[in-house]
Structure 1
């Protein structure tokens, strides 16, 4: 099975050392989508990102309500024998809703607070101190937004952009 990764290099401004963050994905389009979300967040801010489909915290994955919702869907989509020997057996062996309840209990525990120095360092910079994008980045973003507005996908855009250049008809011989 193929594996793809998005590698992001984080350079320490004091030492110049680079730390690599690797995000494994199952398909190149997932890695490109991950990078595109990061790029849009960095260029346009958090308001540019799509809102989550499931905002109601009650039905977030890992909650008891989500477990019961999945159980109901599984029961509707399968016959009783499959439901009893499939879903119920697996859930019985995995602790039923115990992992969900344990997760909820952990989330109610008090969290350690960050020291004041970290909170001060983490405050957002004023807008006038934000780095300005380079002309190349602005041009690349405009090209990408144009391609997306014309119905092209990210995969199509990058395939065209990084494909071999067309022969120009000149003879190099």
Structure 2
């Protein structure tokens, strides 16, 4: 709450229990809305139920802002939309003094640096179980999954499904 407005804040908290000593490691995911928090949980639940093949492929045809490819696209767009004099003074001179594509390369280098890793306990806990130890979903869970997929095929979203079925 600020002097200007109330800003809602939603968090998805996931607790990971260490079976050797009972400690809980909390992972908090910031979300912009309740629906987004529920969607995050649904993604985690679907992954746990169906495995890696249930996740969407991370494909996009958009260029990442700050990359050299994005810079070249901006340069070509500026050249097409403006006169030669404005392109020279409004783009080339400014980019020359700001390092041309050097900031893009520095950003890529920083983003590819090794990140801090998880603790040994989390890494040990996160190792995949052998296939014979995988828990199979119950019949009730499979029926609920079929029911919600039917609702999705009818054009309902996750929040609409629970408003109708839980009221």
Report the TM-score, using the length of structure 2 for normalisation.
0.64
Instruction: Give the total of aligned pairs.
Output: 151
From 21, 26, 35, give the equivalent of 1:20: 26
| Mapped pair 1:160 → 2:164 | yes
From 55, 59, 62, give the equivalent of 1:53: 59
Q: Which runs of 5+ in 2 are unaligned?
A: 1-6, 117-121
From 136, 140, 143, give the equivalent of 2:144: 140
- Provide the residue aligned with 1:39 in structure 2: 45
1:158 positional shift: 2.4
Measured at CA, do residues 33 and 18 of structure 1 come closer, stay the same or move farther in structure 2, by a change above 3 Å? same
1:152 positional shift: 0.9
Cα-Cα RMSD: 4.2
Q: Which runs of 5+ in 1 are unaligned?
A: 113-117, 166-173
Partner-residue secondary structure (3-state), 1:34 = helix
- Provide the residue aligned with 2:68 in structure 1: 64
| Alignment check: 8 A CA contact 2:18 2:125 kept | no
Report the TM-score, using the length of structure 1 for normalisation.
0.62
Partner-residue secondary structure (3-state), 2:27 = strand
CA distance in 2, matches of 1:25, 1:69: 32
Q: Deviations over 1:41-76 (max 9, x none)?
A: 2111222222223279xx344422124435666x59
